[in-house]
């Protein structure tokens, strides 16, 4: 009451919450996947709807092994943009339900966008290479300007002496103006290496390689 005094307790009532229902069944595979080029930088994909006991909430579009687009579960088509002219692509579609179960991929759709690919336009620029010594070993120091295009570049491949040496993956703080990376190059001085860099673009493909630079351990450049 207004004076803070409590009355007698009510009759006790017992209740049991229902057990959580586990959903571990993925949707069915999207069927009849098809596609066509929609100009030099886009493709149009269509598919037959998947089914799920609790409903499909989205469809994920993958280019190779990279998810590049997503649409709502009520959609059976999508347009993927930001592609490169004259480039061969492979797309697959997967359905996703509310429990985050993902279906098997539908049949792969292989398309080539019209036009010619200008690899130079997708290559990192202003590559610089030098070396330094630390803890008895030599390291190669690189810096470059990311290629301009749709989205932020978050992954690079560094080629050393004609072979892929390492991959560099950034998180949310991927550089926009100039990227830098340093990696181990052995313990011997006076060894000359050839280095170049390329970026994974927003469409999931690798862009062109930067200009090649030579760097000799123990000389600083």
What CATH number should be reported for the domain holding residue 83? 2.60.40.10
The model's pLDDT over 128-162, given as tens digits with 9 standing for 90+, comes to 999 999 988 999 999 999 988 667 888 999 999 99
Whether residue 105 is found in the same domain as residue 154: no
Q: Is 145 exposed, middle or buried (0-12, 13-18, 19+ CB in 10 A)?
A: middle
Tell whether 10 is covered by a domain.
Answer: no
∠ CA 54-59-63, nearest 5°, is: 150
Q: How far is 214 from 168, CA to CA, in rounded Å?
A: 20
- 215 and 193 in contact (C-beta within 8 Å)? yes
State which residues form the domain around 195. Answer: 119-216
- pLDDT computed for residue 139 by the predictor: 92
* pLDDT per residue as tens, the chain (221 positions): 878 888 899 999 999 887 767 888 999 999 999 999 998 889 999 999 999 988 999 999 999 888 889 999 999 999 998 888 888 999 999 999 999 999 999 999 999 999 887 777 889 999 999 999 998 899 999 999 998 866 788 899 999 999 998 898 987 788 888 999 999 998 999 999 999 999 988 777 888 899 999 999 987 65
Cα diameter, the chain: 91
Tell whether 20 is covered by a domain.
Answer: no
Q: Is 122 exposed, middle or buried (0-12, 13-18, 19+ CB in 10 A)?
A: buried
Tell whether 25 is covered by a domain.
Answer: no
Whether residue 106 is found in the same domain as residue 48: yes
* Rama region for 82: left / alpha / beta (φ>0; ψ in -120 to 50; rest): left
Q: How far is 216 from 23, CA to CA, in rounded Å?
A: 58
Chain centre to alpha carbon of residue 83: 14
Q: How far is 114 from 108, CA to CA, in rounded Å?
A: 19
Whether residue 130 is found in the same domain as residue 103: no
Q: What is the pTM of this model?
A: 0.62
- 203 and 82 in contact (C-beta within 8 Å)? yes
| The total number of structural domains that make up the chain | 2
- 115 and 86 in contact (C-beta within 8 Å)? yes
Whether residue 148 is found in the same domain as residue 204: yes
- pLDDT computed for residue 221 by the predictor: 57
Q: What is the mean pLDDT of the chain?
A: 90
Whether residue 89 is found in the same domain as residue 176: no
């Amino acid at each position: 009451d207004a004076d803070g005094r409590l009355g007698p307790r009510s009759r006790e009532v017992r209740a049991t919450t229902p057990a959580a229902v586990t959903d571990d069944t993925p949707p069915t595979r999207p069927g009849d996947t098809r596609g066509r080029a929609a100009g030099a930088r886009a493709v149009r994909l269509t598919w037959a709807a998947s089914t799920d006991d609790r409903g499909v909430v989205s469809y994920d579009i993958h280019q190779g092994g990279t998810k590049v687009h997503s649409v709502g579960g009520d959609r059976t088509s999508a347009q993927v943009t930001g592609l490169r002219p004259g480039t061969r692509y492979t797309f697959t579609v997967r359905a996703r339900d509310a429990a985050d179960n993902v279906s098997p991929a539908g049949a792969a759709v292989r398309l080539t966008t019209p036009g010619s690919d200008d690899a130079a336009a997708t290559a990192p620029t202003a590559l610089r290479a030098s070396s330094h010594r630390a803890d008895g070993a030599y390291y190669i120091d690189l810096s470059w300007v990311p290629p301009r295009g749709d989205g932020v570049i978050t992954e690079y491949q560094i080629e050393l002496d004609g072979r892929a040496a390492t991959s560099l993956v950034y998180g949310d703080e991927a550089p926009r103006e100039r990227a830098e990376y340093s990696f181990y190059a052995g313990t011997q001085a006076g060894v000359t290496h050839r280095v170049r860099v390329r970026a994974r673009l927003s469409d999931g493909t690798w862009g062109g390689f930067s200009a090649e630079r030579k760097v000799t351990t123990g000389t600083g450049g």
